[in-house]
Each structure stands twice: as C-alpha cells, then as structure tokens.
Structure 1
Amino acid sequence: MSIRMNPYLTFDGRSKEAVHFYEKALGGQVLGIMTFGDMPADPNHPVTEEMKDRVMHALLKVGDTELMFSDTFPGMPYQPGGDTVQIAIHPEEEARAREIFSALEDGGQVVMPLQKTDWSPLYGIVKDKFGVTFQVNVPGEQPQQ
C-alpha cells in the first residue's frame, strides 16, 4: 500500500494571492482555483457576497509536489503561521536555493540566513509574508554505505 501526503495551507481571504506568490517563488504551476462563488447555488447553504471570491480549493504543482490551499469563512477563527509545521524545500542547485530563499524572504523574515552547515552546503530558514515557515536545504553529499 502506498500513501501520498501534501501540505494544505489555509488563509483568511489571501489564498489567491498566496497561490500566485508561491507559483512565482517556487517555480510552480497553478492547476486550478475554485472559489466558493464557483459552486452551484444551494438555498440551504447560501454564499454571501463576502464569500464568493474566497478560495474553496486551489492546487499548485511544484516539481513532484502538490500544495493545496483554501480560505476560511469570514469571521471564523484564524491563526496565521505557527511553528509546529514547516515546509522543507530541497533544491539541488545552490543558485536555485538562493532564488527561492530570496523570493520567500520578500515581505517576510529570515529566521536563519542561508549558510553552510554540517549536513548541507547551503541551508536556511525563512518565514514568508503569509507566516509560513520554510526550510531551504541543498542536499549534501550522502555517505557511502
């Protein structure tokens, strides 16, 4: 039996902005964005004007990984960011790692600058403008077994 997992990011009305930001920063491809207004009308669950433009589900393909997105309902509790879950990115080239880190840093905050570590020729941590924390890690030489 195989299993796949992927990050699912939730925002308070900023999912469209986030999807396009990550599309550019990570070199991804938007595969779809569906808003609550795109859904068929249901008189039992009416969608307010405020909800129509919020993202019900969006999908961004980055390499072999899929990132999914949605917005909260207006007025629902929302706590951005947090450090309990981080997204690790492993570009093979240092130049690409620097590009990604720089793009994520725009409007965000560097937690640990890109630098050589014991396990990587280039590693750093950045919290982006949406409060999502990324670890950018260029894989180092793997010891021979």
Structure 2
Amino acid sequence: MTKAHPYLNFDGKAEEAFNFYKSIFGGEFTFLQKMGDVPGSDQIPENEKNRVMHVSLPISEHTTLMASDCLPSAGHVFVEGNNMYISLSLDSREEADRLFNGLSSGGNVEMPMEDMFWGDYFGSFKDKFGIQWMISHNAQA
C-alpha cells in the first residue's frame, strides 16, 4: 500500500508547530532531532542549532506528519505555507469537526465545515503556522 506522508518546512517553528499538532492528534513523536545533534553540527551557527532537523508524528495507522526547519546559513529560503494543503478524509462528521476546530484555532478559515454539492462534508483553512488544510468526510465512502 502506498502511504502519503506530508512533509512541512518551518523557519524555526517546527517544534512549536508539532507540539500544537500533537495536542490535536494525540500520540507521541517517533523521531525528534535538532540540528545541533547531527554530524557536522560544529559548522552550524549557534542560533540555528536548536532548529529541528527532523520530526515525525504518526497521525493514523498509515500517515505520518513530518517536518524540519530551514537553515538560512545553508541558503534555505522559507516561504510560509508553500501553497500546499494537507487533505484529511475522516470517518465521521464528529471527527471532521474536532480536527477542523482544533487545527484552525488561531488560523484563518477559508471555508467552514459544510455539506458540499459533491457529497462531502468539507472545510478548509490556513492554521496559525501558515499550513493549509482541507478536512472532509464522505458518508458514502
């Protein structure tokens, strides 16, 4: 089975973002490593050593949310959101509402959760970290 694992980039806020996501999804990080803990970290500026090299948070049996912080000293250019959505299809309206309400807290709702003409219960938003999400439930699926 093919698994999709959304991978996000942040500008020094990966750990903060993932602690927020963990508070919504639950579970534990399966991996969290800082830039200062990797081989060659003596070449990384002090102000970048606490940035996240990689973090993984399983959010279901088949999907893991992953991220890292950009390293400006390595020429990485951060663009908030990067025009990417993470699309989640949920088994119930209640779970769709729970995740929509939790993840959109402090963000910008584009479309509130509503029944759509194509048959899904759907909503979309940008969270307080600039990540765009689509939440849906299809009772016929």
Whether TM-score is above 0.5 comes out as yes
1:42 shift after superposition: 5.7
The answer to whether the 8 Å contact 1:29/1:62 transfers is: no
* Residue identity (%): 33
Q: Deviations over 1:56-91 (max 9, x none)?
A: 1111101020111000113642110143x2111111
Cα distance in 2, alignment partners of residues 101 and 13 from structure 1: 25
Q: How many residues align?
A: 138
Q: Deviations over 1:7-59 (max 9, x none)?
A: 1100000000111111122334311110011124466xx12211110001111
1:126 shift after superposition: 1.1
The answer to whether the 8 Å contact 1:111/1:125 transfers is: yes
1:120 shift after superposition: 3.7
TM-score by length of 1: 0.85
> Corresponding residue for 1:55?
52
| Aligned partner of residue 44 in structure 2, secondary structure | coil
Partner residue of 1:68 out of 66, 69, 72? 66
2:79 is equivalent to residue 79 of structure 1: yes
- Tell me the C-alpha RMSD between the 2 structures: 1.9
> Corresponding residue for 1:20?
19
Q: Which moved more, 1:11-20 or 1:89-98?
A: 89-98
> Corresponding residue for 1:9?
8
Q: Which amino acid aligns with 2:21?
A: Y
Structure 1 stretches of 4+ moved >6 Å: none
> Corresponding residue for 1:102?
101
| Aligned partner of residue 59 in structure 1, secondary structure | strand
Query: Structure 1: which 5+ residue stretches go unaligned?
Result: none
Q: Which amino acid aligns with 1:79?
A: V
CA 1:103–1:38 in structure 2 vs 1: closer, same or farther (change >3 Å)?
A: same
- Return the structure number with greater helix share: 2
Q: Deviations over 1:72-119 (max 9, x none)?
A: 113642110143x21111111111111111111111000001001133
Cα distance in 2, alignment partners of residues 26 and 120 from structure 1: 25
TM-score by length of 2: 0.87
